[in-house]
Amino acid sequence: MSEIRKPDFIFLLKKQGKKAGKLELFDSEKWTVKFYSRNKAKKYRLRASGKWFPKGEIKYFNKWEVRDLLWKSINL
């Protein structure tokens, strides 16, 4: 069954000109989840290369957590 929700952001990742993957961010409100925090930052659910991250659980990330995950995954 395909996903009916549309991603809010799509990042196409390439390494040395070859396709490495696709990262999709879905707003948490699409799952009717409301977060109350001091900074009122939006939270997102991640799908990497067609699979939900992390596998087996529903977890939401702030935009700076997504940034940190991307930078830690790059091997320089």
Spatial separation of the C-alpha atoms in residues 2 and 5, rounded to whole Å: 9
Contact between residue 60 and residue 30 where contact means Cβ atoms under 8 Å apart: no
Beta strand spans in the chain (E):
9-15, 18-27, 44-48, 51-53
The predicted-structure confidence for 59-72, as pLDDT tens digits, reads as follows: 999 999 999 998 88
Structure tokens at 73: 């995954």
Q: What are the boundaries of each domain within the chain?
A: 9-73
- The whole-chain average pLDDT of the chain stands at 85
Spatial separation of the C-alpha atoms in residues 26 and 53, rounded to whole Å: 12
Name the stretches of the chain with pLDDT < 70.
1, 33, 35-38, 76
